[in-house]
Structures are given as C-alpha cells and as structure tokens.
Amino acid sequence: MSMHAIESLVEYSVITTATASPVPPLAQSICYSLYQIQNQLDCGYTVLRVRDELEQLGYLSLLPPEQLPEPERSEARRLAVEGGFLKDGTYVDGCSGKCCVTAGTALWKKLLEMGVLPVSAKAELRLLDPLELAEQIVPLASKALAEGDKRGADTLGHWYAFFPLLCVVEGLDDDNAPEPERIQALLRLLAVPEAFEVAGAYGKEMDFDFEEEEMSFLAGWETPYNQWKEKQESLFPEFCKRIMYKLIEKHDFAGADRYASLTGDENDPSRLLHRCVVSFACHQWLKAQEPGTLPPERLLSLLEVKEGLEYLSGLPLTEQELATCRIYLLQTLVLLGDYPATIEMQRSLFTEAINKLEQYPEGETKQIQQIALSISYYQMLYTNLPDDYPSKKEWIRKGFPGLMELPGIKRICGELLPEMPQMADTLQGYMEQCDALIQYLK
C-alpha cells in the first residue's frame, strides 16, 4: 500500500483541526500524535505541506540557525543551503534556510527552557492513540462537512479507510480492544456517502479480514461502505443512460457510445442495446447531413445495429428493454429501406398488442385504447413508408384485423366527446388525424 494515503490523512486532519471553530484544546497533542503515527510508516517529510496550519496551532516553529543553541546551530548553518536533517531529526529547510522545530522534540524542549520559544508554545503534550485521535478529529470533520467544507469529506474518508490500519500499527487486538460503544459511535460519524466516495479510491486497502487479524472489535466496519457501493453500482448504469441520451441530443455520438459501453459488461444485453440505440441515432442524423459525412469509428454500422437488435429480440429481456429493442429494430428497417420487412414487423407487433388488448374488460377505457392503437397503426404506415412506395395507400386502406377503420374511429370519437369531456382534447386530436389520413387516401 502506498503511504502517500497516510500522508494525506495526516494533512487533512491537520487542516480540519486548524480550521475548526473553536480550535480544540488538544490541538498540539493532535498534531504531535499524527506525526508520531506517520513516522512509524514509510512516509516522507511532509510537515511543510501544512506549514501555515501547524504554525497556527503551535506545533511548528521556523527559526533561523542563529537562534539555536550549539551544536544544533553549527549543524543548521551547514545545511541551510541544501537542506537536510540535524542529528536529532529536526529538519532544516533548504529554501528558507530555517530550522523546522516541532513540538515534543528535544530541541523544542531546550528552546523552551532558553526562552527562545514563547511561553504560549509550551503545552503538556499527550500521545493520543488512534481511537483518541479519531474521536478528536472526526467530529470536527463531520461538522465542517455539514457546514459545506468539502475538505471535511476528505478527512472523514481517509479516517474511514485507514482507521483499521492505524489500529494494527498501534497493536490493538481483541486482548486490548477499546469499548464497542466508542467504535460504533465513531463509525456512525464516518459512515456517510461523502466519506465513502473518498474512501472508495482505496478499495483494496479496505479489504480487511478482522477475524484473521484478531480484531473482531472492528467486525462490521466495512458493512456500510459495501452497502453504499452496491447501491452505487446498481445506480451507475442508469446514470450512464441519462448521460448517453443527453449526448445523443447534442449529436456527440462518440461520447454517447462511450457511456453506452459503461451500462454493462461485454456480455450484458443492456450494453449492446444501448450501443445500438446510439448508432441508430447517429445514422438517422447522418441522413440529414452533407453527403460524405462519416460516423465516429467505433459506432456500429446500420447492418450491425439490425443484427444486434434481432439477436436481442430473442433474449429474455425486461418488458421495457424488449419494447425499446423492437421500436429501434423497426426504425432500423425503415432507415435501411427494407419496407417489406418493415410492414411485416409492424403487423407482427400489432398482432401481439391486439391480443393483449382483448384481455381487457369491456368499457370506455378499452375503447379509448382500441382507438389509440388503431390510429398508431395507420400513422406508422404513413410515416414509415415513403410516398413513392407503390402500395403505401393500399396498405393503409386495407386496415388490419382487430383494429378499427379510419371512418369508424372518427365516428366513435365523435360519440364519446359529450360522454367524456375530460378526454376532449385527446379525442379531438384523434379525429383530426383521421381527417388527415382520409384526405391523403383520396
């Protein structure tokens, strides 16, 4: 595991502590304990990344070599240009030439006794264990997040991801486990979606076997994250579909295809269906463009769309997916100019719809549905077949078994108007469509 994550945990924790209002009384001890933990791991020297915050909290003092006692003064002068560490581990910054004195070190204590550091820098330092640290920092981060500071989420996420590791470093196990109530109280503060979004970047590091590590006091720690992750994974395909349709509207078909590809794995029918939808939309759009305009390279050809949709039509899809598949297959046949196949498929689809409608109880609701189904049949023939198709008018005139004829639709709509005033606009619209189609057939 990269220790950069622990460095980030320390930095976010320092920022959270420094920006808290009020600053906690144990601020210096918090910083001291954080860097004690960091020093136990394979981390770099990162104190200067949050220099301002550490100075504000009284943990860090930047002093020129002249203010140091011997032998540190001479050592610091030699390191002032290139930077490096004194024998006691104190860092000399090569950029500023100053010595980074941190609370709790031998040099810090010596400088306090000499009066070089102000009395305000003197504090009774406590080495806090990981749980005590978390109990100090996590409530501050939770409050910051509630007030709109997104850095609070970074702090919470890192503590959720790495608290178990810090327990391992501390040597906590079932023999010296903290009280369950404290662990659960901490988990309640950490188990929020904003924290999980941050922690999710460290998914592998959170794969702990607490029983094997003899840390059963952390049993269930990963449960809220796993539940959140499962929910997010179930929502992700829907998110991709929404973005896909938005990109189709913008004619960004390459982008739409990328999101369609994310709706499932390579064997998921939903992935193929949505890639077909994107490719169909692109080919339909190309019909209105200048000759020679090419689709993006990765998109399916129109024949591949047809083959894909025909394959999907034979699979046990959801009702909504099957309906989408059939609608796009029908429109693909139209776009290919295969009008006999278009008519055959339309008649097949309406045969199924009529059989379903016959199962409805008699009444006005069924009558309205019969009208709507009949009108849609004639309108689809009118729209899908070009005007120069030889038998277009003949197909519309002959109607279809189980559907109303155009004059009959208009007559029944007129009869229903006074009986169903709430449907007046819909019925009037059906009558106007009938008039237009009847006029076309003359």
For residue 203, is pLDDT > 80? no
Note if the bond before 22 is cis, omega within 30 degrees: yes
Is 112 domain-assigned? no
Q: What is the structure's pLDDT at 205? A: 59
Q: What is the structure's pLDDT at 100? A: 94
Tokens found for residue 360: 């409805």
Please list, in sequence order, all residues whose beta carbon lies within 8 angstroms of the beta carbon of residue 167, skipping any fewer than 6 positions away: 130, 131, 215, 218
Is 73 domain-assigned? no
What stretch of H or E contains 146?
helix 130-146
Quick count: other Cβ atoms within 10 Å of Cβ 63?
A: 18
Q: Indicate if 39 and 139 belong to the same structural domain.
A: yes
Q: Indicate if 205 and 232 belong to the same structural domain.
A: no
Confidence of residue 1 (pLDDT cuts 50, 70, 90): very low
Q: What is the tally of structural domains in the chain?
A: 3
Q: What is the structure's pLDDT at 3? A: 76
CATH code of the domain covering residue 269: 1.25.40
DSSP string, 257-294: HHHHHTTS-TT-HHHHHHHHHHHHHHHHHHTTS-TT--
Is 295 domain-assigned? yes
Q: What is the structure's pLDDT at 212? A: 55
Q: Indicate if 299 and 252 belong to the same structural domain.
A: yes
Q: What is the mean pLDDT of residues 66-92?
A: 90
pTM equals: 0.61
Q: Indicate if 384 and 439 belong to the same structural domain.
A: yes
For residue 95, is pLDDT > 90? no
Quick count: other Cβ atoms within 10 Å of Cβ 120?
A: 7
For residue 158, the enclosing domain spans 1-58+123-221
Least confident range from 109-123, 251-265, 275-289: namely 109-123
- For the chain, percent of residues with pLDDT exceeding 70: 97
Q: Indicate if 129 and 39 belong to the same structural domain.
A: yes
Q: Indicate if 311 and 215 belong to the same structural domain.
A: no
Q: What is the structure's pLDDT at 233? A: 78
Task: Encode pLDDT of 120-165 as tens digits.
Answer: 767 789 999 999 999 999 999 999 999 999 999 999 999 999 999 9
Is 1 domain-assigned? yes
Is 23 domain-assigned? yes
For residue 197, is pLDDT > 60? yes
Q: What is the structure's pLDDT at 216? A: 86
Q: What is the structure's pLDDT at 201? A: 84
Q: Indicate if 250 and 374 belong to the same structural domain.
A: no
Q: What is the mean pLDDT of residues 391-400?
A: 94
Is 88 domain-assigned? no
DSSP label at 295? -
Q: What is the structure's pLDDT at 363? A: 86
